[in-house]
Amino acid sequence: MRRTPKDVEQNARTVSRRGIIFGGLQLLMFGTLGWRMRQLQLRDSEQFRLLADENRINIRLLPPARGLIFDRNGKALAINEQNYRVVIVREDAGDVEKVLSQLQMLINLSDEDVAAALKTVKQRSPFVPITVADHLTWDDVAKIAVNAPALPGITPEVGFSRVYPRGKDFAHVIGYVGPVSDYDLAKIDDQDPLLQIPKFQIGKTGVENKKERDLRGKAGTKSIEVNAVGRVMRELERQEGQSGDDLQLTIDASLQNYAEARLAGQSASCVVMDVKSGDLIAIGSAPSFDPNKFVRGISVPDYQGLLDDEFRPLASKSVQGTYPPGSTVKMVTALAALEGDFADAADTVRCNGYTEVADRNFHCWKRGGHGKVDLVSSLVESCDVYYYEMAQKVGIENISAMAKRLGLGSKFSLPLSAVASGLAPTKEWKRKRYGKDWVIGDSLNAAIGQGFVKSSPLQLAVMTARIASGTDITPRLVKTINGRETLAPKPESLGIATSSLKAVRDGMFGVSNLTRGTGFRSRIIAKGMRMAGKTGTSQVRNISAAERASGVIRNEDLPWKRRDHALFVGYAPADDPKYAISVVVEHGGGGSTAAAPIARDIMLQALYGELPPLDAYPTNQRSTIRRQQREINILASTRKAGAKDST
pLDDT band at 568 (very low <50, low <70, confident <90, very high): very high
The answer on pLDDT for 370 being more than 80 is yes
DSSP 528: T
Do 276 and 127 sit in the same domain of this protein? no
Domain membership flag for residue 616: yes
Cβ(399)–Cβ(446) below 8 Å: yes
Q: What CATH code is carried by the domain that includes residue 560?
A: 3.40.710.10
Domain membership flag for residue 306: yes
Residue-wise pLDDT for 142-187, tens only, equals: 888 888 888 888 878 777 889 999 999 999 999 999 988 778 877 7
Domain membership flag for residue 609: yes
The answer on pLDDT for 357 being more than 90 is yes
- By DSSP bridging, strand 69-70 and strand 247-249 are parallel
Residue 644: per-residue pLDDT? 54
Residue-wise pLDDT for 429-443, tens only, equals: 999 999 999 999 999
Do 453 and 349 sit in the same domain of this protein? yes
Half-sphere exposure of 442 (CA within 13 A, CB side): 19
Domain membership flag for residue 75: no
SS (H, E, C) 226-270: ECCCCCEEEEEEEECCECCCCEEECCCHHHHHHHHHHHCCCCEEE
Residue 390: per-residue pLDDT? 97
Comparing CA positions, the residue from 214, 171, 211 lying closest to residue 415 is 211
Residue-wise pLDDT for 234-276, tens only, equals: 777 788 888 999 999 999 999 999 999 999 999 999 999 999 9
Q: How long is the chain? A: 647
Among the ranges given (381-395, 415-429, 587-601, 629-643), the one the predictor scored with the smallest mean pLDDT: 629-643
Do 464 and 577 sit in the same domain of this protein? yes
Residue 144: per-residue pLDDT? 86
Q: Where are the beta strands (DSSP E) in 434-502?
A: 478-481, 484-485
Domain extent for 118 = 81-161
Cβ(136)–Cβ(159) below 8 Å: no
Residue of 206 and 1 predicted with greater confidence: 206
Residue 229: per-residue pLDDT? 47
Q: Terminal CA-to-CA distance of the chain, rounded, Å?
A: 108
Do 481 and 608 sit in the same domain of this protein? yes
Amino acid sitting at position 539: Q
Residue-wise pLDDT for 406-420, tens only, equals: 999 999 999 999 999
Do 112 and 258 sit in the same domain of this protein? no
Q: How many CB atoms lie within 10 A of CB 626?
A: 12
Among the ranges given (89-98, 361-370, 452-461), the one the predictor scored with the smallest mean pLDDT: 89-98
CA separation for the pair 58, 63 (Å, rounded): 16
The answer on pLDDT for 360 being more than 80 is yes
Residue 152: per-residue pLDDT? 85
Domain membership flag for residue 246: no
489 Ramachandran zone, left/alpha/beta (phi>0; psi -120 to 50): beta
Do 124 and 266 sit in the same domain of this protein? no
Do 145 and 262 sit in the same domain of this protein? no
User: Average pLDDT, stretch 26-40?
Assistant: 70
Do 431 and 562 sit in the same domain of this protein? yes
Helix (H) or strand (E) holding 434: helix 427-434
Among 116, 132, 161, residue at a domain's last position: 161
Among the ranges given (118-132, 216-230, 264-278, 290-304), the one the predictor scored with the smallest mean pLDDT: 216-230
Domain membership flag for residue 217: no
Do 439 and 587 sit in the same domain of this protein? yes
Domain membership flag for residue 282: yes
The answer on pLDDT for 290 being more than 70 is yes
Domain membership flag for residue 237: no
User: Average pLDDT, stretch 382-402?
Assistant: 97
Among 161, 189, 215, residue at a domain's last position: 161
If one counts the domains in the chain, the total is 2
Do 143 and 281 sit in the same domain of this protein? no
Cβ(469)–Cβ(492) below 8 Å: no
Residue of 515 and 488 predicted with greater confidence: 515
Q: How many CB atoms lie within 10 A of CB 577?
A: 22
Do 258 and 153 sit in the same domain of this protein? no
pLDDT band at 12 (very low <50, low <70, confident <90, very high): low
- 545 by Cβ neighbours in 10 Å (0-12 / 13-18 / 19+) ranks as exposed
Among 145, 161, 177, residue at a domain's last position: 161
What mean pLDDT value characterizes the chain? Answer: 88
Residue 486: per-residue pLDDT? 92
CA separation for the pair 404, 116 (Å, rounded): 52
Among the ranges given (192-201, 484-493, 592-601), the one the predictor scored with the smallest mean pLDDT: 192-201
Q: What CATH code is carried by the domain that includes residue 102?
A: 3.30.1390.10
CA separation for the pair 63, 386 (Å, rounded): 63
Do 320 and 467 sit in the same domain of this protein? yes
Amino acid sitting at position 292: N
The answer on pLDDT for 226 being more than 80 is no
CA separation for the pair 21, 17 (Å, rounded): 6
